[in-house]
């Protein structure tokens, strides 16, 4: 699951600056420059003014002025997910720092490499309830991979290098570096560090060879296998290898929400998404398999449902870079601790030692594929074709795919629109899909889209959001306008907190307690125009495609208010805590 950006892979700095004295603020920027950082998402404050003064003086690193520190973290997150390189954000002390917590937790849950710098009150004032002081190191300890408080300017350069190394190796994740104001003013020699050496941090990248032999043997012994693919495949850059592995053995592939794009969604072996809103056939295959080959998933509860009933007939192989993830939720028969890319190269080599055995195996599981096909024909993903004038949300998402031919980056917020997108949009490439899968963060989609657009200026970026989610960070439209980022935001507007309403319908007797957003719903067209963006509205099926094509022609941020059927539900659905084969169907 490791990512290895070019500048960090060798643990070396490519330049060797002359030994000169610099202020902490200058060391901060010089170190980022040496690490290849080209973009910082940030918001200034009093304790960071020495840093911002140095930012003003240079032109090598672009600073994006966000409108809220949470937006900065999600932009850095989106940047990281589409590039594989650590996203970088900057926030001031106190409330600025605490505003980063949601973004850090989001990145932590989804294993996204990020380095977050926060300003801190001067060292002598720490712990004295100084103005805008917060113990951000203590606050973020549970939601970062590691964090630092820099008390001595002489440590700053080394700590920044370590932060990037930790964030991008092993299981990727966010690292926070807290820098007091007096450290940014103090001076030290810039050393031009050439190597990061951390005695206590040595990620294991290759599983034990004996376990890999056992894993392949279990596959050849199986009759009803499923390759259960998670986000670790995307993080490790192993997408092409997992495709070769699945094809070599004819394995049906079930994909987690985080793994979408890691295996081509339109491939004949793809079963699409598994879990709470996965396809009926995919969940039935998971539940009736005699072997799960789990590559980079975390066995989270949205996939497993009732753990006591999860894939009880199946032996389990689990590959993960993080040893602590293996056996955490589900006991496994073979543990493979290591990087997915390197492990898959070895597993393929073992399989290819005996081509005849592989051929016979592919033939032997034809009946299993037949059963999966039958399940698929019995209960395909379905939504009403007779719209009776109402606009179905699934239709909007299908049309976004059609007008872009799937050639775009998609971000989402969290809720019904997120699950419809995951069900309907067949992601065929890795790093084209940004969504908050672990923490489930509403307000993620728009700023993540801006980060992705900054990283990929020549690509089309669509944010698919909900009327509830978009209002949580809509202020970042100002950022999009300022930097001329032509992100297209499609609001699936059903005037409800849709997923909450769906659960209230099914499990709380249709009592829609505080989930109706109709009162106070803004005019999104006027709101977009107030920010200087383009606003469009659509409520008729016949208008969907023309509106989308109009939005794509505009080289500015566009917000489209798609007013859809108010009580449409996401199906299939596995109720929380139920078994995978206990699904509500359309």
Task: Output helix, strand, coil percentages for the chain, rounded to the nearest 5.
Answer: 45, 15, 40
Does residue 192 contact residue 162 with C-beta atoms inside 8 Å?
no
Q: DSSP string covering 500-567, please?
A: HHHHHHHHSTT--TT-B--TT---HHHHHHHHTSEEEEE-SHHHHHHHHHHHHH-SS-EEEEEE--TT
Three-state secondary structure call for residue 425: coil
At 345, list the tokens: 């190269």
Three-state secondary structure call for residue 77: helix
Does residue 464 contact residue 421 with C-beta atoms inside 8 Å?
yes
Determine phi and psi for 496, rounding to 5 degrees. Answer: -135, 160
Does residue 363 contact residue 268 with C-beta atoms inside 8 Å?
no
CA distances to 122, 205, 207, 534 from 343, rounded to whole Å, are: 47, 8, 7, 48
In terms of C-beta density within 10 A (0-12 exposed, 13-18 middle, 19 or more buried), how is residue 341 classed? buried
Does residue 277 contact residue 422 with C-beta atoms inside 8 Å?
yes
Our CA dihedral for 67, 72, 74, 77, rounded to 10 degrees, sits at 160
CA distance 401 to 172: 30
CA distance 216 to 352: 11
Does residue 416 contact residue 442 with C-beta atoms inside 8 Å?
no
**Which residues are designated catalytic?**
69, 131-132, 181, 499
CA distances to 289, 348, 420, 498 from 501, rounded to whole Å, are: 34, 46, 15, 5
């Amino acid at each position: 699951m490791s990512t290895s950006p070019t500048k960090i892979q060798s643990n070396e700095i490519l330049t060797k600056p002359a030994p000169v004295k610099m202020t902490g603020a200058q060391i901060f920027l010089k170190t980022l420059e040496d690490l290849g950082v080209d973009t910082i998402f940030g918001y200034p404050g009093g304790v960071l003014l020495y840093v911002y003064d140095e930012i003003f003086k240079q032109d090598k690193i672009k600073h994006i002025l966000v409108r809220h520190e949470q937006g900065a973290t999600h932009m850095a997150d989106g940047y990281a997910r589409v590039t594989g390189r650590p996203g970088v954000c900057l926030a001031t002390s106190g409330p600025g720092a605490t505003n980063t917590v949601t973004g850090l937790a989001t990145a932590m849950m989804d294993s996204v490499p990020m380095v977050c710098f926060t300003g801190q009150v001067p060292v002598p004032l720490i712990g004295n309830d100084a103005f805008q002081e917060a113990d951000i190191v203590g606050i973020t300890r549970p939601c970062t991979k590691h964090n630092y408080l820099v008390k001595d300017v002489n440590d700053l350069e080394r700590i920044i290098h370590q932060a990037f190394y930790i964030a991008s190796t092993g299981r990727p994740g966010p690292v926070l570096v807290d820098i007091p104001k007096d450290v940014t003013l103090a001076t030290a020699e810039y050393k031009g560090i050439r190597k990061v050496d951390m005695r206590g941090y040595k990620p294991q990248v290759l599983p034990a060879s004996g376990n890999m032999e056992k894993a392949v043997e279990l596959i050849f012994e199986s009759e009803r296998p499923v390759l259960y693919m998670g986000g670790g495949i995307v993080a490790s850059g192993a997408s092409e290898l997992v495709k070769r592995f699945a094809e070599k053995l004819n394995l049906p592939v079930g994909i987690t929400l985080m793994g979408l794009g890691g295996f081509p969604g339109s491939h004949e072996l793809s079963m699409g998404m598994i879990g709470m809103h996965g396809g009926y056939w995919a969940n039935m295959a998971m539940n009736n398999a005699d072997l799960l080959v789990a590559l980079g998933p975390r066995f989270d509860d949205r996939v497993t449902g009732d753990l006591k009933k999860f894939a009880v007939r199946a032996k389990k192989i689990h590959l993960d870079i993080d040893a602590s993830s293996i056996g955490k939720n589900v006991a496994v028969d073979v543990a493979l601790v290591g990087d997915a890319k390197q492990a898959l190269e070895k597993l393929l080599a073992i399989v290819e030692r005996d081509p005849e055995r592989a051929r016979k195996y592919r033939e032997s599981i034809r009946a299993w594929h037949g059963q999966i096909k039958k399940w698929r024909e019995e209960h395909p993903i379905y939504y009403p074709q007779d719209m009776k004038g109402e606009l179905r949300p699934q239709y909007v998402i299908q049309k976004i795919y059609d007008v872009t031919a799937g050639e775009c980056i998609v971000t989402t917020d969290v809720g019904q629109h997120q699950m419809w997108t995951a069900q309907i949009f067949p992601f065929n490439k890795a790093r084209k899909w940004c969504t908050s899968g672990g923490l489930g963060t509403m307000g993620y989609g728009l700023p993540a889209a801006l980060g992705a657009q900054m990283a990929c200026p020549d690509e089309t970026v669509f944010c698919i959001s909900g009327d509830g989610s978009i209002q949580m960070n809509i202020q970042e439209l100002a950022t999009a306008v300022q930097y001329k980022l032509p992100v297209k935001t499609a609001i699936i507007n059903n005037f409800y907190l849709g997923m909450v309403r769906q659960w209230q319908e099914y499990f709380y007797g249709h009592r829609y307690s505080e989930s109706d957003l109709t009162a106070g719903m803004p005019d999104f067209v006027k709101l977009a125009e107030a920010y200087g963006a383009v606003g469009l509205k659509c409520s008729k099926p016949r208008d969907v495609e023309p509106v989308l094509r109009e939005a794509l022609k505009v080289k500015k941020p566009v917000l489209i208010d798609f007013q859809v059927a108010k009580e449409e539900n996401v199906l299939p659905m596995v109720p929380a805590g139920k078994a995978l084969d206990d699904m509500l169907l359309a």
